[in-house]
Amino acid sequence: MAQRATSSSFKSAFSLSEQQFLQEFNLDSVAGPLERGDLEAARQALLRHYDDRAVPAWPIFPSRFTDAGSLTAEELLAQADDITAHRFGNARIWLGDKVDWMHNPTPDPMARWTRDLHRHRWLAIVAGAYERTGDEKYARTFVNLMADWISSNSPPVRKDEANVAWTLMGVGMRAAIWPAAFAAFCRSRAFTDETKLNMLRSV
């Protein structure tokens, strides 16, 4: 869900109650269960909406944000395996067993490498490997990294709390990339209902 900004603070979908969050989608199939007070049925109706979605068509990864489409199959799988092992960027920087999302491996005071990490262009690599192979390890990579990123990078409450994860460019690129990633893994067994709902709250 998009964040709503005031002059001095931000409001995240995480600040909404479960019912308020589900109402935001404005879907008749969700509204009925909500009127009956059946939150679980409302959640399942929302998830079915995405599972069955045909129109409008799901977006694809914007080519201007990623070079995944220009890679050979061998290059694509090698990069996806690096990401699975928590090695990111052209230099394949290892970010730890638990990813340190704020790590800056360069002397750049603007932390451009880290800013790029938070733009999530690497999701197109993992999705491409999954589409090519059907290997659930790539779906698990997606789910694990998304869940960890969301839990490790809460939206700032105030403007003065913003960091490299929440630049305007980063938020904008994630907003373009996440729907394509959601679609790519939507029917994977690894992409659980809980993870889907968590991702929808975090868009």
Number of other residues whose CB lies within 10 A of the CB of residue 22? 22
**pLDDT given at position 13:** 76
- At 13, is the secondary structure helix, strand, or coil? helix
**pLDDT given at position 3:** 42
Residue 85 and residue 176 in one domain? yes
The Cα-based distances of 48 to 13, 84, 107 in angstroms read: 21, 29, 47
Residue 26 and residue 50 in one domain? yes
Residue 87 and residue 106 in one domain? yes
Q: Where are the alpha helices (DSSP H) in 72-188?
A: 73-84, 112-117, 123-133, 136-152, 168-185
Contact 202, 150 (CB under 8 A): yes
Residue 73 and residue 39 in one domain? no
Residue 48 and residue 142 in one domain? no
Residue 136 and residue 49 in one domain? no
Residue 109 and residue 189 in one domain? yes
Number of domains in the chain: 2
Residue 53 and residue 63 in one domain? no
Residue 87 and residue 171 in one domain? yes
Domain housing 182: 58-202
pLDDT tens, residue by residue, 35-91: 999 999 999 999 999 988 876 678 888 877 787 888 999 999 999 999 999 999 999
Residue 138 and residue 185 in one domain? yes
Which residues are 10's β-sheet partners?
5
Average pLDDT by stretches of 10, the chain with 203 residues: 42 82 95 96 96 79 81 96 97 97 96 97 96 97 98 84 89 94 95 95 87
Please report how the helices 123-133 and 168-185 are oriented relative to each other, as an axis angle in degrees rounded to 10: 10
Domain end (from 11, 28, 57):
57
How many Cα atoms occupy the beta-carbon half-sphere of 137 within 13 Å?
Answer: 10
**pLDDT given at position 159:** 74
Residue 81 and residue 97 in one domain? yes
**pLDDT given at position 11:** 60
Residue 25 and residue 118 in one domain? no
**pLDDT given at position 10:** 53
The CATH number linked to 76 is 1.50.10.100
